[in-house]
């Protein structure tokens, strides 16, 4: 029932619209027109005013066509890409879609969005039974799930849902993820001429190096990691650097381990500052909380039953990465992530196969069928 050519065409059209985070207006307008043409109830929220972008989250609803108690569900994906795709050239080799290598493809997350839309089209064309189905297409996911946190999902009265936004295999599901904390650190030293009076200065770079050298970083435990990702500072090669800014993070499926790691990193920055006579400002933010969804909950049962009905694994996975599901779960709506076919995401080798796009649409259709069956149990 899935129309492969229509699906692939939509996927390409979505990818070809340049939509970096906070600049998704053209992509949202295209998505809105597409969904309105399908006859769905479509609206936008006011996320742009909350997050400082030029576009809102896009929401659409296909009203139930069955009687009785059938769960209300949603499928979700995000418009924005991790970097711009201006000038994207899409190539196809052996049934796999790539960019020409000069940009990312944008399969993250159009490989989630296009199959979800195709599934709704198939439902409409074949008058398949379904409960209320929402499509939640967010903005600014790549910079901290900003659109999802701004989206008032609690007002939609949905029972549970699925975010189509992780790698293969199709038919696997992320039910457990990490808590992710971020540190923004500014070290204030003292400037001096590096050749004439270096002893009169306090090198903020040296303080940073001292602190980082003492830190536990990388793989801290089986499901705990930490990283110092960005360092910037200094003014000239002949000036003792007076200021350095650092971005660092810690993640774990155990919030207590995140807390311990963050405390350790903060202590090392503070100790190094004291040692050299510098000062340090530290801002600590919880980027998002983790979640763990039990195997026997409806959101998981419907997904696993759907996958197995199609001969897929139904594997339940843990990941330290985040997605809009973290935000939706934090707001109280049970949500898991569906594995898509997108591979090598965030790189210029990103790609997805036609087969996986089709299978994602098939899986969405079967999830809908399983929710109807669950309502009749």
Q: What is the pLDDT of residue 247?
A: 98
Global confidence as pTM: 0.92
- Taking only the tens place, the pLDDT of each residue in 93-140 is 999 999 999 999 999 999 999 999 999 999 999 999 999 999 999 999
> Where does residue 50 rank: exposed (0-12), middle (13-18), buried (19+ CB within 10 A)?
middle
Q: What is the pLDDT of residue 175?
A: 98
- What is the pLDDT averaged over residues 169-191? 97
Q: What is the pLDDT of residue 375?
A: 75
SS3 for 66-133 is CCCCCCCEEEEEECCECCCCCCCCEEEECCEEEECCCCCCCHHHHHHHHHHHHHHHHHHHHCCCCCCE
Q: Specify the residue for token string 């944008």.
A: 106
Nearest to 269 by CA among 257, 259, 282: 282
Which domains can be identified in the chain, with CATH numbers?
A: 4-177+289-376 (3.40.630.10), 179-288 (3.30.70.360)
- What is the pLDDT averaged over residues 39-45? 98
- What is the pLDDT averaged over residues 342-351? 97
Peptide bond into 309 cis (omega under 30): no
Residue 234 has pLDDT above 70, yes or no: yes
User: Which residues are designated catalytic?
Assistant: 80, 141
pLDDT, the chain, mean: 97
Q: What is the pLDDT of residue 377?
A: 55
Q: What is the pLDDT of residue 206?
A: 97
Q: What is the pLDDT of residue 363?
A: 98
The model's confidence at residue 68, banded by pLDDT at 50, 70 and 90, is confident
Q: What is the pLDDT of residue 19?
A: 98
The model's confidence at residue 376, banded by pLDDT at 50, 70 and 90, is low
The model's confidence at residue 250, banded by pLDDT at 50, 70 and 90, is very high
Could you give phi then psi for residue 329, rounded to 5 degrees?
-65, -40
CA trace torsion 91, 97, 100, 101 (10° rounding): -170
The two structure tokens encoding residue 344? 């090598």
Q: What is the pLDDT of residue 325?
A: 97
* Separation of alpha carbons 299 and 133, rounded Å: 14
Specify the pairing of strand 133-138 against strand 173-177.
unpaired
Residue 25 has pLDDT above 60, yes or no: yes
Q: What is the pLDDT of residue 72?
A: 97
What percent of the chain clears pLDDT 70, i.e. is strictly above it? 99
- What is the pLDDT averaged over residues 242-257? 97
């Amino acid at each position: 029932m899935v129309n492969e050519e229509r699906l692939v065409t939509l996927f390409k059209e979505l990818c070809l619209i340049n939509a970096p985070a906070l600049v998704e207006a053209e992509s949202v307008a295209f998505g809105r027109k597409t969904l309105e043409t399908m006859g769905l109830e479509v609206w936008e929220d006011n996320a742009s005013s909350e997050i400082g972008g030029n576009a809102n989250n896009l929401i659409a609803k296909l009203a139930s066509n069955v009687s009785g108690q059938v769960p209300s569900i949603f499928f979700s994906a995000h418009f924005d890409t991790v970097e711009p795709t201006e000038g994207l050239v899409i190539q196809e080799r052996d049934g796999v879609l790539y960019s020409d290598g000069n940009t990312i493809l944008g399969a993250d997350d159009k490989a989630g969005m296009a199959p979800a839309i195709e599934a709704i089209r198939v439902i409409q064309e074949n008058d398949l039974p379904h409960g209320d189905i929402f499509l939640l297409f967010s903005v600014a996911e790549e910079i901290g799930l900003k659109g999802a946190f701004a989206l008032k999902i609690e007002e939609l009265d949905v029972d549970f849902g699925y975010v189509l936004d992780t790698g293969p295999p199709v038919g696997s599901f992320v039910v457990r993820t990490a808590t992710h904390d971020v540190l923004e650190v500014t070290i204030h030293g003292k400037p001096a001429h590096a050749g004439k009076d270096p002893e009169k200065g306090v090198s903020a770079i040296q303080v940073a190096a001292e602190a980082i050298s003492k830190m536990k970083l990388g793989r801290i435990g089986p499901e705990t990691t930490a990283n110092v990702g960005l360092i910037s500072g200094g003014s000239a090669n002949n000036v003792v650097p007076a200021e350095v800014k650092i971005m660092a993070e810690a993640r774990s499926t155990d919030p207590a381990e995140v807390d311990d790691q963050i405390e350790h990193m903060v202590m090392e920055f503070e100790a190094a500052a004291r040692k050299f006579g510098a000062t340090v400002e530290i801002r600590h933010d919880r980027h998002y909380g983790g979640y763990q969804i039990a195997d026997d909950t409806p959101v998981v049962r419907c997904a696993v039953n759907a996958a197995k009905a199609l001969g897929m694994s139904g594997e339940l996975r843990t990941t330290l990465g985040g997605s809009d599901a973290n935000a939706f779960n934090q707001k109280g709506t049970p949500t898991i992530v569906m594995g898509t076919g997108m591979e090598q995401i965030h790189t210029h080798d990103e790609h997805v196969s036609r087969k996986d796009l089709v299978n994602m649409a098939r899986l969405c259709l079967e999830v809908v069928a399983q929710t109807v069956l669950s309502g009749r149990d």
